[in-house]
Copies of this chain bind each other. A is one copy, B any other.
Amino acid sequence: MKCIVLLSGGVDSSTALSWAYKEHELIAAISFDYGSNHAERELACARFQASALGVPLHTIDLRSLAPHLSSSLLSGAAAIPTGDYDESNMRSTVVPFRNGIFLAIAAGVAESAGAHSLVIAAHSGDHAIYPDCREPFMAAMAEAIRLGSYAQLQILRPFIGMNKAQIVSLGAHLGVDFAHTYSCYCGGEKHCGSCATCRERRAAFVSAGVPDPTIYSAS
């Protein structure tokens, strides 16, 4: 099945890219620059991962949306909360309906490119904080995209029942070069090691028993 992968350049979507390359006919990846603090680092990793597999990358410039959306993720690194990845702590980082926006645009691109499906790396750990990562949202959005496209596009979500450690295990098995993936919400050259996404990343490698190639500023 011809598919397009939503690729942020993080651990999860980079693994989804390698999964789709192995399991389907991967015709392209798509990345979004929505003006986040970490856009430059993420996009560099997305380009690396797509290039490593010889897959064309569509980069969609959505920076014009940022002034219309409220999120600490769009407000500079100082606004990013530190500490663990729980709801009260991370709520300010929510970009309203981000996955809905990404999936809708990816559906338009996929229909234009002759694809039959989209792949998104949503996983079980996302659910608590972000309403647009939960499976009920994904199922409804999948139905909307199927009904709203001539190609009756499908949304594949292979990791929806997995946690991040399981994704790291799968990625290691598939040969993903995790040194070229980026997670830190602060956007520095090195991963800060103390924001919630850095903590979650680090814990996933430990839990999976996979060597972590990441250089963190905080030990």
**A-to-B contact residues, CB < 8 Å:** 58, 60-62, 64-65, 68-70, 94-101, 103-105, 107-109, 111-112, 131-132, 134, 136-137, 140-141, 143-150
Which listed residue (B70, B97, B109) contacts A107, Cβ 8 A? B97
Bound together, the chains give a CA A217 to CA B144 distance in angstroms of: 39
Using A95-B108, A144-B144 as known contacts, list a sample of 14 further A-B pairs with CB atoms less than 8 Å apart, ordered by residue number in A. Answer: A60-B64, A62-B64, A70-B112, A96-B150, A97-B107, A99-B148, A101-B107, A131-B149, A132-B147, A132-B148, A137-B144, A140-B144, A140-B146, A140-B147
Known: A144-B141, A147-B136. A108 touches B96 (CB 8 A): yes
Q: A103: which B residues are within 8 A, CB to CB?
A: 104
Q: A64: which B residues are within 8 A, CB to CB?
A: 60-62, 64
Q: A70: which B residues are within 8 A, CB to CB?
A: 112
